[in-house]
Chains A and B, each alone.
Chain A
Amino acid sequence: MVFHLDKCIGCHTCSIACKNIWTDRKGTEYMWWNNVETKPGTGYPTRWEDQDKYQGGWEKRNGKLGLRSTGKGRVVFNLFHNPHQPGLDDYYEPWTYKYEDLFNAPEGNDQPTARPISMVTGKHIDIEAGPNWDDDLSGSPVYAENDPNLSALSPEQRAQLSAIERLVFFYFPRICNHCLNPACVASCPSGALYKRGEDGVVLIDQKRCRGWRSCVAACPYKKSYYNWNTGKSEKCILCFPRIETGQAPACFHSCVGRIRYLGVLLYDADRIDEIAGRPDNELVDAHRELIVDPNDPAIIKAARENGIQDDVIRSAQKSPVYKFVKEWKIALPPHIEFRTLPMLFYVPPMLPVMSSFDGKTVKNMTEGLFPDFDKARAPIEYLGKLFGAGNNSKVRYVLKKQMAIRTYRRAVTVGDVEMEHAEHMLREADCTVAEAEAIYKLTSLCTFEDRFVIPPAHREEAIEMTADPLEYKQSVGFGFKEEVKRGL
């Protein structure tokens, strides 16, 4: 999966698509398997990136990888009360409005109002927070300034970031990363979570889940949620019933900015442990190393021997994700220092970094060949913390390439830039003309088929395709239907 952040318009269509299909049931109202955050900002749940608070992800202890939140020994003692589990207030209390009051209110001099009521208790509440309360930097003194990533910046840089006339932000849509080294799977005492071999989707077996909530605490991205009504945890399922029928997941399909790409990546599962244990600054490259070339005959042979269908290998060869991540190296994993090896990659946003506002117009700062990224509007350290595990050179590489490609395309279409200059920039940015064209095409002119290369479903093999999702709307379970009853 790749999300191209320069293209995200922050419309939340993805979130709504997901919510309408999967999380409109009792107990899931507060869940947003897909959510869109404004950065800088505290996100959802509040300050999820702060692992001193949430204890998510992996850490290296005496040279070995271990879960921060729990471990084989500790899990036993913490079963009755999970010390690192976020509570409802870390997310927000979901609410609706008492719309019927608008119709039923007795006639009077005042306009009737629809008061907010909690979707948990059904009682009237005063709304204090929402899943995107700091959308578009609203209330930034409270929210944006508490962004955990700002710890990478000096006080001057922070001031610079939040100075009103230079204010800069971008959107950060998030779903479960369907990680290669998922902390959620490793943490589950009941072994209810698993990664599917065929497509890598990470799922929770609803019949095996006992509600110990270890996955909720262990996922550093806070993308596993506890359903308080059923007593089971739930998470993004990457719309597997859609994938199995060759369709893009709902959030991908509905994305207005067309920022989302989905394709097959082949990787060497035997090396996951070693790669996830590398030092922080090597992690981005190591993760890339793990992803193997689907055109290499040796790889194809190995894949077949491991039971990968031929059409999946063919899809891998056409994968847009492979191009962004491995060939062009312009898509980076979010917070790889959590060491779950996320399989969702982001093309870091360039615009907020590069342009400045002088009071009248937005200008691109292009003195010299490349702008000085370190003096950019959004400090590079900020993006480096998000997408490079603190290794700013990774982000700088992407921004340079993107900048060069834009200059090159400007030379082609507008012509107010010398082609020679543009090509010089491309060379400096480790990019050829052919690559620039390819990146430009896949970024700007991409069709549905370019963005989503999903191998055809193996109907004869898939067991989950026997059910109609709409049949189960607002009820519980997909594939089997069992009433949620608490107790007797």
Chain B
Amino acid sequence: MAQNTNILDYFNLFWFAVLPYVALFTFLLVTIQRYTRRGFTYSSLSSQFLENKIHFWGLVPFHYGILTILFGHLLGFLIPRQVLLWNSDPLRLHILEVTAFIGGIFTLVGLVNIVIRRLVDPRAKVVTSTADWVVLSILLFQIGTGLFVAIFNSWGSSWFAASITPYFWSLLAFSPDIAFVTPMPMLVKLHIISAYFLILLFPFTRLVHVLVIPNPYLWRKPQLVRWYWDRKKIRTPGFKAKRK
């Protein structure tokens, strides 16, 4: 009996105190290495050109959904107190939960369409790599477990802020306190572990497109010109003449 708990402890330690670091450091190192050494491979790898009908019904709901959800997780992580405060009113709690759930459904529907598209369209198949299937499977698992958690262990926005957020912060402080997660139901654990796998595989897959979302566009001037000549050098003769 005692031995059993021991093994379980090791398991927990591995999944919740070792894996996150492996994932995070791989993510950081490989992403930077890939950006600086193989920058050419950063692309959205769009396949809209090859299949433009199901595309809309897959990519659009998926992205709007997942961005909403990610933003929600981020809020729970960064400002847990405010989230808890917000949730103290049942109506507001319901608004938050329902929004999140709709986001999840959008994501799922989009993802299912993406998968179907890649299964049935002969042209989309051509640009579907093993890595794509790995990413899509984990995402499907991630969203599936997420939705189940929302159904069976409801009010996640509150308990996430209360017990998962401290766990994440303990990870970031390099003193992982897995006591927060070990008592969690299996579904939640699976959801967390699969998230670590996503982060781990992230830099090796097309997911890197998330990191190169265009931001300066909104502020830059429309036209861009690059010079290879040293224009000052060309100007210099005139410059000297003026000085004389």
Contact = CB atoms under 8 A, between A and B. Distances in A.
Interface of A: 72, 75-76, 79-82, 85-88, 120-123, 181-182, 185-186, 188-191, 193-198, 206-207, 209-213, 226, 228-232, 272, 301, 304-309, 458, 461-463, 477, 480, 482, 484-488
Contacts of A231: 43-46
A189 B212 CA distance: 10
A487 B39 CA distance: 13
B205 A185 contact: no
Contact of B130 (A82, A212, A306, A487): A487
A197 B226 contact: yes
B52 interface: yes
A72 B218 contact: yes
28 contacts: A75-B218, A79-B214, A82-B48, A85-B48, A87-B52, A88-B123, A120-B123, A121-B126, A185-B224, A189-B217, A190-B214, A191-B217, A191-B220, A195-B225, A197-B229, A210-B209, A210-B212, A228-B47, A228-B49, A230-B43, A232-B43, A307-B235, A461-B229, A461-B230, A484-B41, A485-B41, A486-B127, A486-B132
Contact of B50 (A189, A212, A228): A228
B49 A85 contact: yes
Nearest to A225: B49
Contacts of B44: 210-212, 231
Identify the 3 closest CB pairs spanning chains A and B, nearest first: A487-B131, A307-B231, A189-B214
Given A211-B209, A301-B238, A487-B132, 9 more contacts: A81-B60, A85-B48, A185-B223, A193-B224, A196-B227, A210-B44, A212-B46, A487-B135, A488-B204
Nearest to B63: A80
B122 interface: yes
A79 B215 CA distance: 12
Q: Using C-beta atoms within 8 Å of the partner chain, give the interface range for chain B.
A: 35 or more
Contacts of B132: 486-487
A305 B46 contact: no
A82 B59 CA distance: 10
B226 A88 contact: no
Question: Which of A189, A191, A309 has its CB near the most chain B CB atoms (within 10 A)?
Answer: A189
A196 B235 contact: no
B118 interface: no
Nearest to B239: A305
B15 interface: no
B126 A185 contact: no
Nearest to B132: A487
A186 B223 contact: yes
Contacts of B55: 81
A181 B41 CA distance: 29
A484 B206 CA distance: 12
B228 A198 contact: yes
Nearest to A488: B131
B212 A307 contact: no
A306 B62 CA distance: 49
Given A189-B214, A488-B129, A211 B225 contact: no
B123 A121 contact: yes
Interface in B117-140: 122-123, 125-127, 129-132, 134-135
A80 B39 contact: no
Question: Which of B63, B127, B134 has its CB near the most chain A CB atoms (within 10 A)?
Answer: B127
